[in-house]
Amino acid sequence: GQQLNQSPQSMFIQEGEDVSMNCTSSSIFNTWLWYKQDPGEGPVLLIALYKAGELTSNGRLTAQFGITRKDSFLNISASIPSDVGIYFCAGPPREDSGNTPLVFGKGTRLSVIA
């Protein structure tokens, strides 16, 4: 089946630094979703992308839908301690006919050093 590969798997950064992570696939996705999971909580949807080339921001977060439809990027500017958590990318499989379960990446674990 389709798989999403996230990199890096984990990262340690200083407070105030910018962060960049990505998600790639060998097959085309028509939607890219980015979630953040705080420790001990459920994932929360951060940004949804629906069009190739689309660039969307949510506060200090910016995500882009790659032109090839096989990748997406999430950037966080001026990181703060509450950015700590696991960031997941996700998308519907090609055979999706509506409400088919999403394919999830394995996540990027972000740690922020104050």
Partner 1 sequence: DGGITQSPKYLFRKEGQNVTLSCEQNLNHDAMYWYRQDPGQGLRLIYYSQIVNDFQKGDIAEGYSVSREKKESFPLTVTSAQKNPTAFYLCASSPERGARNEQFFGPGTRLTVL
Interface with partner 1 (CB under 8 A): 31, 33, 35, 40-45, 48, 50, 88, 90-92, 96-102, 104-107, 109
Complex with partner 1: residue 17 or 50, whichever CB lies closer: 50
Six-digit token string for 43: 């994932």
Strand partners, 98: none
For residue 7, give every residue at least 6 positions away whose Cβ sits within 8 Å of its Cβ, in sequence order, or none. 21, 22, 24, 108
Least separation in angstroms between CB 105 and partner 1: 7
- The CB density around residue 110, as the number of other CB atoms within 10 Å, is 20
Least separation in angstroms between CB 75 and partner 1: 21
Complex with partner 1: residue 45 or 78, whichever CB lies closer: 45
